[in-house]
Structure 1
Amino acid sequence: MAAAPETYRVFAIKYAHHERRSGVNFIGGDSHDVPMPMDFFVWAVVGESRSFVVDTGFDQAMAARRGRSIIRPIEEGLRAVGIDTSTVEDVILTHMHYDHAGNRDLFPRARYHLQDREMAYCTGRCMCHSPIARHFEADDVAGMVHRVFEGRVQFHDGDSQIAPGLSVHRVGGHTEGMQVVRVHTQQGWLVLASDASHFYANMEQRRPFPAVHNVGDMLEAYTRLYSLADAPHLVIPGHDPDVLRRFAAPSREHEGWIARLDASAR
């Protein structure tokens, strides 16, 4: 008999910010052309018996190269929710873009969970095309290759349960191996969409984000996200500052940079 799902606490941790306008956040632009900034998050999934980090962000050097602003290093945010990066045993990478797969040395003990197709994608012929490759960092990809040879990567092919109450699901679209994370919480099944939908508006209005491998798959992914969650508000986009307004901080000192996603929405 299958084990009963564990119930997890889930935190969105903002580590960086980028000012931009709405026109660059939708294929075809946006007629309103209003400010629509992007926040950068990692996520912590905290259980009684086991915890997981979802994505690993980037560091100050990469922020300077890419014109982004670090708000707080991710190790500070993880420490605030009780996670020591030196002891983390499982990291789930939704995909291998620079803002989700950096900080290569922060998790020395971790096993990394990645889709087969994502590894093939970021080491294959698509990286010969600069409009695609520019979203990746060669050092991050090479670091993952080294982990493969060290026995520290667990590959997944499509949908896969990692632990009772936690699973990954390949949806594609943004990248070939884009995966989302489904988590059992006290509010029901929650989905960390990551870049399957950068903003609420992308999935709610069916207006895809311009950084895309396959537009059709991205549109289909929006439907899949909602089917995996128990309620629409439990689908969490990857870069929307509104996440920090829709969900409360765990305490007053965390206001504006950490949200508890498994608690009731505001």
Structure 2
Amino acid sequence: MRAVTTSRPLPRFHGLRFAFGTLTVLPARVARWDREAARSGMLCAPAAGVAVGLCAAAAGSLLLLLGAGPLLAAVASTAVPSVLTRGLHLDGLADTADGLGSGRPAEDALRIMKQSDIGPFGVVTLLLVLLAQVAALHRLYGEGWARGAAAAVLAGAVARLALTLASRTGVPAARPEGLGAVVAGTVPPRAALAAGALAVGVCAGAGALAGADGGGYGALRHALAALAALAAAEVLLRRCVRRLGGVTGDVFGAVAETAATTALVVLTLG
């Protein structure tokens, strides 16, 4: 689908509706599908991530408080984001792994990524990423429901924040159609940095409220995890731009899962 340019004013709260309507299965009517709407929507993407993270935290914490144990709590908090996104980010991660791992020229790699099946690179990547997420959350829920819940919210927020930063001006689309073409290059760098600072601040606040490390150390720990997640996502983004000539919807999914996984792993360190 090609992006449409329009000067009509955006409806109220359209950015939030665009973010929730395109990045989650939560009920949200997307009234416009153009680059102006995409810019507003991608700036609101971290808010959708916080909502997904809260749902994941609620599921995991409830199971833990009911006595199911940290492993089942971790599985629940890993499964909920997949359900709330119809598995699109994980599918994008697998397709991107197949494309990058193929060693083919950009055009062939993009064709591989567009195919409906998943190759060996994608299968292995999915397995390792999901195992890493469950293992990290298992460790964190084992230290208390608040630590696990804060981590789930952090992972949801930074995953979507990585999408905001990946949509900044200067990052091209690899194809002329699809979600990647609509959102690529829509977010001004200053707006992306402002959204990033706000989201990292929210992550730090969640860490302070978790309380297990003390407010100050918990806030610092979560802020550093968020920054490490964004750095890992940026490395993958630049690799995809160099290798594929730009971003696609699959690349956005891979960037989101990379950020979430990195954040969770960093929280287990130290």
Shorter-normalised TM range: under 0.3
Higher helix share: 2
The two structures have a TM-score, normalised by structure 1, of 0.27
Identify the structure with the greater strand proportion.
Answer: 1
Which one has a bigger Cα radius of gyration? Answer: 2
Q: Which has the higher contact order (CA 8 A, sep 6+)?
A: 2
